[in-house]
Amino acid sequence: MDKLKKVLSGQDEGSTDGTGILERANEASTLAWGTRMKGFGVCFVLGIVCSILASCTLWIPGVGLIVFAVLYSVGNVSALASTMFLIGPCRQLKTMCARERAFATVLVLVCLALTLCAAFWWKNNGLALLFCVLQFLAFAWYGLSYIPFARDGFMKLCSVCV
């Protein structure tokens, strides 16, 4: 358990040579393990609740799709931010931009932005719904990047099914 705590809190990486402002801020704002778990739980549950509420508001006439797009996007951002409590914001940004998941990160953020653009600026319900589906798929692909060999397994499963 101690090894897991060290890895998730970023203490297992060894020494860092650069002492940039982000690293110093991260070191100065270390949270206790229990606080990290509570923060993770609150953000993750908030993300799930927002996504469920979004599904409930989809069929409200007039503004339902806009509320759906906003709540669904806030839910995804909250679920993504929940892991920052476990490993810290600096390390989270580094892992998001790592070579193996940089494309998935960009895809999630672009789909999130396009969802909100379709709902607010373009006022196109079908496009907003399409971007919500793409946002879900991109977020799932991003999540699979954290599980070793999960993407390869998923691709093999899809090739067998087709």
Residue 116 lies in a domain: yes
Residue 134 lies in a domain: yes
DSSP string across 71-120: HHHHHHHHHHHHHHHHH-HHHHHHHHTSTTTHHHHHHHHHHHHHHHHHHH
The per-residue pLDDT of the chain, averaged, comes to 84
Reply yes or no on whether the pLDDT at 44 is more than 90.
Answer: yes
Total domains in the chain come to 1
Residue 29 lies in a domain: yes
What distance in Å separates the CA atoms of residue 36 and residue 5, rounded to the nearest whole number? 10
CA-angle at 126, arms to 136 and 101, nearest 5°: 25
At residue 15, the pLDDT reads 46
Check: pTM over 0.85? Answer yes or no: no
Mean pLDDT of 49-74: 88
Residue 124 lies in a domain: yes
Residue 153, domain extent: 22-161
Tokens of 4: 């897991």
pLDDT digits (tens, 9 = 90+) for 112-142: 999 999 988 998 888 988 999 999 999 999 9
Residue 2 lies in a domain: no
* Among 1, 2, 92, residue whose Cα is nearest residue 40: 92
Residue 39 lies in a domain: yes
Reply yes or no on whether the pLDDT at 38 is more than 80.
Answer: yes
Tokens of 143: 């999540």
